[in-house]
Amino acid sequence: MKANDNLTLTIFGASGDLAYRKLVPSVYDLYMQSLLPDCFAILGVGRTVYSDQDFRDKMIKGIKEFSLQPTDDEEKINSFINLLYYVPVDSKKTEDFAKLKDRLQEISDKCHTEGNVIFYLSTPPSLYEIIPANLSAHGLNKEDQGWRRLIVEKPFGYDYETAQALNSGLLKYFEEKQIYRIDHYLGKETVQNMLVFRFSNGIFEPLWNRNYIHHIEITASESIGVGERGGYYEGSGALRDMLQNHLMQLVGLAAMEPPTKIEADSIRNETLKVFEALRPIGRDDVSKYAIRGQYGAATVKGESMKAYREETGVDPDSRTETFAAIKLFIDNWRWSGVPFYIRSGKRLPTRVAEVVVYFKKTPLSLFGDESEMTHEYNQLVLRIQPDEGVLLKFGLKVPGAGFKAETVNMDFHYSGLSDAYLPSAYERLLLDSMRGDATLFTRGDAVLAAWKFVDPILKAWKKDPNVPLYQYPSGTWGPEVADKMIDGEDVTWRYPCRNLADDGIFCEL
């Protein structure tokens, strides 16, 4: 659905990597699908001194490298690139925002963008409160001539207190309905599919509760290390980088009650209720419910991988976790007693994200100890990436004499759809923000509730020397102790392959 209101997308931090690799290429993708409004402009803002032309030249390269749409039509690229402008501004200097105001006015007059502006904060988090304050000092947050929206990238705070302070800081200058907090996982097509899968199928919803589900597992693993981002990662770690935001959002979608409508507040109210029902983990119980690890050196497929402590920008004695796993409970009517296990890490064997629902076993094992189904749970795998799709594992008779049951797969792959264009997360989220639809953006209260849950873990990891930090060799599934955290007979984490359905057999990772 096209964005109808004409507008200027103002990107702070426009000379940075995110604008180059994701934001501008995603807007180009929207342009190629005729989803942008009739009158549209991008205004890049940054400290680097660029002319409009410098900015355009740089962005052409980004588009050619990262766009998902065809980039061989020079005429199309040029007509898109002419929608781009740039103004050098030091975001810390209030007086510099006068230049921004003038440029926005000029663009609005020239391109007929009608005073509607999205401000996208793609800057270091230290500027997240300064920029809104400076926008406000020049009246740029006021909606008297068109609407104003503010998109904030993660990290949204560093812990509960800083997230609370940031929230209040933003709310001094913008109203909640103007603020769009990005969690790019919510922009993923397959993450949104969790809502459709759960609430459009009569067959699964009746089973989706403590009566039939044994436990739920959520994995988001990466095979890469921290690369050039050691400096950032040192102050973050896996818990802040992936679990507090992306994985918690997945928990919210997997566990929420049906919203009354598919619209922003209904859905976000339900996510909030899930987070509010999370059983708090006390500081003394952290080791029981949360495991942290850090990757060590190893040779993976003949390639030698550095230890995390040897990466650029990382303290040689670093205690930052590159792997985190948590066992959590949602104390509400639907989920009481059902454990959720979530894990994420760098330098694991492969890049994969999936939600696995383990259904309870039958009350009796009629088909004997030899049968696979005596030992396995029916599993429903919602694969987020790669090889996006859905897999259901159930027991079937092995042909021939007797009654031996083995596990078989029923699977759906998005790649099997002939017109399966999966838009990038940023493409979807940028379009929604232009359309004023905040459904896939996180709301301040839910972000704080998620921080409240992880905060005691962060504090214990920082302050309590008795909480172990396990080292795991690069290329493995994290510390061995994490394998033992799952309750149940014959069960540990699923061993996911790159291909959704190639499981239980040898697979290339």
Shortest distance in whole angstroms from residue 241 CB to ligand BG6: 5
For ligand BG6, the closer CB: 264 or 353? 353
Q: Any catalytic annotation for residue 138?
A: no
* Residues 305/225, Cβ–Cβ less than 8 Å: yes
Token pair, residue 262, equals: 């598919």
For ligand BG6, the closer CB: 134 or 193? 193
Residue 358 backbone dihedrals phi, psi, to 5 degrees? -100, 120
Contacts of 105 (CB under 8 A, 6+ apart): none
Shortest distance in whole angstroms from residue 166 CB to ligand BG6: 17
Strands 290-296 and 470-473, by their bridges, are: parallel
* Residues 493/343, Cβ–Cβ less than 8 Å: yes
Residue 375 backbone dihedrals phi, psi, to 5 degrees? -105, -15
Token pair, residue 472, equals: 């795991």
* Residues 441/183, Cβ–Cβ less than 8 Å: yes
Shortest distance in whole angstroms from residue 293 CB to ligand BG6: 16
Separation CA 428–CA 444 (nearest Å):
21
For ligand BG6, the closer CB: 239 or 330? 239
Tally Cβ neighbours within 10 Å of residue 418. Answer: 5
Separation CA 34–CA 28 (nearest Å):
10
Question: Which residue number is nearest to ligand BG6 in terms of Cβ?
Answer: 241
Token pair, residue 272, equals: 């909030």
Residues that bind ligand BG6 (CB under 6 A): 222, 241, 353
C-alpha to C-alpha distances, 32 to 7, 73, 170, nearest whole angstrom: 17, 11, 34
For ligand BG6, the closer CB: 270 or 354? 354
Q: Which of 138, 184, 215, 246 is catalytic?
A: 246
Separation CA 97–CA 281 (nearest Å):
45
Q: Which of 301, 302, 251 is nearest to 454 (CA)?
A: 251
For ligand BG6, the closer CB: 124 or 280? 124
Shortest distance in whole angstroms from residue 427 CB to ligand BG6: 13
For ligand BG6, the closer CB: 305 or 338? 305
Contacts of 77 (CB under 8 A, 6+ apart): 28, 60, 63, 64, 71
Contacts of 261 (CB under 8 A, 6+ apart): none
Tally Cβ neighbours within 10 Å of residue 106. Answer: 13
Shortest distance in whole angstroms from residue 222 CB to ligand BG6: 6
Angle at 147 between CA 141 and CA 149, to 5 degrees: 60
For ligand BG6, the closer CB: 213 or 429? 429
Catalytic residues: 246
